[in-house]
Amino acid sequence: MSKTTLKILQVNASARRNGSTTRRLSEELVSKLAAKGEAKVKIRELADGVPFVDEEWVAANFTPVENRTARHTATLAYSESLIEELEEADVIVIGVPVYNFGVPAALKAWIDMVTRARRTFEYTDKGPVGLLKDKRAVLVVGSGGVTVGSEADFATRYLKFVLGFIGVTDVEIVAAEGQAYDADGAAARARASLDATLKSLSESLLQAA
């Protein structure tokens, strides 16, 4: 992590701009973490829309850099901007509402834009290797009935695998789970999880300073 300015990337994936649990918890975590010292916060709002991978994007991505046309470069420009945000960040906070046992479509589209060979991972004779190093991630999860880590949880397992694939292996989870049947309990568990995660991150920052 940076020893001067802490760089935090907050990725909001909820379709709800108001009343979203993951937005509220993400904002609280980021604000409290930023208050620990000098920090720069970048917010990526996926509800604004994320393009899906299409045939033109695939063609541009698989064209060697030295052979790319201006059109290829323009096609990949949005993906490049998202990857640069990840490269710059020390801490990545991702709001993850669980939709139908998995991640929102906008978050999947973001993943497709940032998981790119030769940019965030590379193939070697020992297998794929992630290229994003020395970063920590926090998944701020909100669910109505899905319990994190259960057989029905296809969201956090998937995200932890993808993040590890591109090099981000230090991943913590703040979960407000079971809100549909135990709202008070979900809130209490989320509070305890957020406080523990904030303590863990803060201790790491002090050690790195």
Instruction: Tell me the two tokens of residue 17.
Output: 């701009």
Contact 189, 177 (CB under 8 A): yes
| Vertex 126 angle, CA 122 and 129, to 5° | 30
Digits of tens for pLDDT over the chain (209 positions)? 445 899 999 999 999 999 899 999 999 999 999 998 889 999 999 999 999 999 999 999 999 999 999 999 999 999 999 999 999 999 999 999 999 999 999 999 999 999 999 999 999 999 999 999 999 999 999 998 898 989 999 999 999 999 999 999 999 999 998 888 888 888 888 899 999 999 988 887 656 65
Handedness of CA 188, 92, 18, 155 (dihedral sign): negative
Neighbours of 67 (CB within 10 A): 7
Neighbours of 181 (CB within 10 A): 9
Neighbours of 29 (CB within 10 A): 24
